[in-house]
Amino acid sequence: MAKKEEEENFDDEYKITKLYWNITELAEMFGVTTSLLRLWGRQFEILNPRRINSRGDRKYNKEDIEHFKLIYHLVREKGYSIPGAQAKLREMKDDPINNEQVVLTLRSVKEFLVELRANL
């Protein structure tokens, strides 16, 4: 199954109003390992999963998933190294209008419009 199809399946499966996703669900969502998520959680300050139970399991909310999408886009799709992606995120934080966030927002709008057209 192609990566794009996997992401579309995830979006369909997880559009349910869910407050938190666990690390395994997030890893499956993007086709990466849980160890990669843990690494990125240590490397990127914006990834800050909640630990809402006594065992300390990582739980991700929608904002965390959006941050992960941005990091995934920079590292996996654009080919940035981790230090390069960190620098880009700092740059984007200072820049009120950034191209990466615009691209991700436009993708979300496109997905919504395609879904809307399919339901007509």
Give the pLDDT mean for 50-63. Answer: 79
Q: Mean pLDDT of all residues in the chain?
A: 80
Q: Is residue 1 pLDDT above 50, yes or no?
A: no
Q: Is residue 109 pLDDT above 60, yes or no?
A: yes
Give the pLDDT band of residue 47 (cuts 50, 70, 90). confident
List of domains in the chain: 3-118 (1.10.1660.10)
% pLDDT > 70, the chain: 80
Instruction: Give the separation between CA 65 and CA 59, rounded to whole angstroms.
Output: 10
Give the residue from 5, 18, 64, 63 showing the smallest Cα distance to 37.
64
